[in-house]
Structure formats: C-alpha cells, structure tokens
Amino acid sequence: MCSDILSIQLLDLSHTIAASLFEGCNYPWEVLPNITNFILQIGNALPDEEYDNSSENVWIHKSARVALSASISGPTIIGSDTEIRHCAFIRGSTIVGAGAVVGNSTELKSVILFDGVQVPHYNYVGNSILGYKAHMGAGSITSNVKSDKTFVVVKNGSEKLESGLKKFGAILGDHVEIGCNSVLNPGAVIGRGTQVYPLFSVRGCIPANSIYKSKSEIVEIKSQ
C-alpha cells in the first residue's frame, strides 16, 4: 500500500462536510463513484434555517454569494461563505466547501472541494478532489479521461495502482498550489503543500512539500 498517497496523508477531513464518505476508503479516489448518492443522502437532512433548496437536489448555504449568471445543477451542496462567480458552471455531483471560490467560467463536475478551495478563473475540475485551501491558477485544468478511454492507473514511482475508474481527474492535497495553465493528467496525485509551476503537464504522484519545476526537476521545499 502506498502510504504517502492515503487519504489521511493528503487530506484534513475536518475541513469537509463529506468526511464520513471517506470512512473505509484507503485512497481518496475510491469515493468518486459515491459522491452523487452521498449528496442525496445528506441533502434533505441539512437544516432549513441554514440552507436554501431552491431547485431540485441543490442546497446552497444562505451565506453563500451566487452570481445570477451561474448555472448550478443537482445534486450539489454549496457551503457557507462560498462565492460562486459570474458564469460558473456546476454540472452536479459536486460538494463545494465553506469559504471556497468558484470563479468566472469555471466548470465543476463530480468533485469535492474542501473548505477554502479556490478555482477562481477559467478552470475545469472533473472527477477530482481538492483538499483544504488548495488553489488552481487561472486556466489550469484537470483532464479526467484518457485518450484511449481505458481505466486510469495511478503511478507512484515504480508502483502502479489500478483505480477501476475510466473518469478520474486529480487529487490535490491540502494547501496545494497549481500554476496557471497547467494540466493535471488523469490519475495525478499532488501531495500536501506542493507547488506546481505554470504551463506544465503533470502525471503520476508528486511528493508532499515539494516544488514541481519540470518532470525531471522536483525539489523539496526547505522549512524556514
């Protein structure tokens, strides 16, 4: 078992309403097929004094700020103090955590955004999980389907893990920073606190607390 990419190594589960969804799952991508049913199970139990249920299977916290031009389909939960900006496109099976930012023309599908996540400018995030306060720079995207449409394999060094999924974008640990216009290829896993330089195509697993300058240059972030 690859311990460095376990859910408990990548994600602080105290920063998501979906914490119980990860119970019994070693790797975070194991929860992706279960997001839809989970939202439907907990949605109707959300307190009416805190959440509006203005359309079918869409629950939006009363403190969230949602642009009139945003498109939100269910099942979706939008957390407290979240900002959904102009022309955001939320296609369903999506959990957006408290204090998150979903920006102009950003598209989400089958994702969990932990609290404080920012996808603020022209991002596509599909079949992915973004940890606490992760940030994707303008134009950065997840690629969630292989060109040959085969099952996604997570590659961690010499070890290969079969995900059993044909649609699987990326896993971002807490506090990850993705540079502008970077592409995270299917099955990419980025460790906690890691930074990815702009304009890169990232594959496989990137260690925690590192800087991804290129495929051949990944350096450790030195503690201050």
pLDDT digits (tens, 9 = 90+) for 14-35: 999 999 999 999 999 999 999 9
Predicted pLDDT of residue 54: 80
Decide if 106 contacts 86 (C-beta within 8 A): no
φ and ψ at residue 210, rounded to 5 degrees: -135, 170
pLDDT digits (tens, 9 = 90+) for 161-186: 999 999 999 999 999 999 999 999 99
Domains along the chain with CATH numbers = 3-220 (2.160.10.10)
1, pLDDT greater than 90: no
In this prediction the pTM is 0.96
φ and ψ at residue 7, rounded to 5 degrees: -55, -40
Residue matched to tokens 């939960």: 77
Predicted pLDDT of residue 3: 67
Instruction: Please give the Cα distance from 97 to 116 (Å, whole number).
Output: 7
Predicted pLDDT of residue 224: 54
Give the distance, in angstroms, between the CA of residue 115 and the centroid of all CA atoms in the same chain: 11
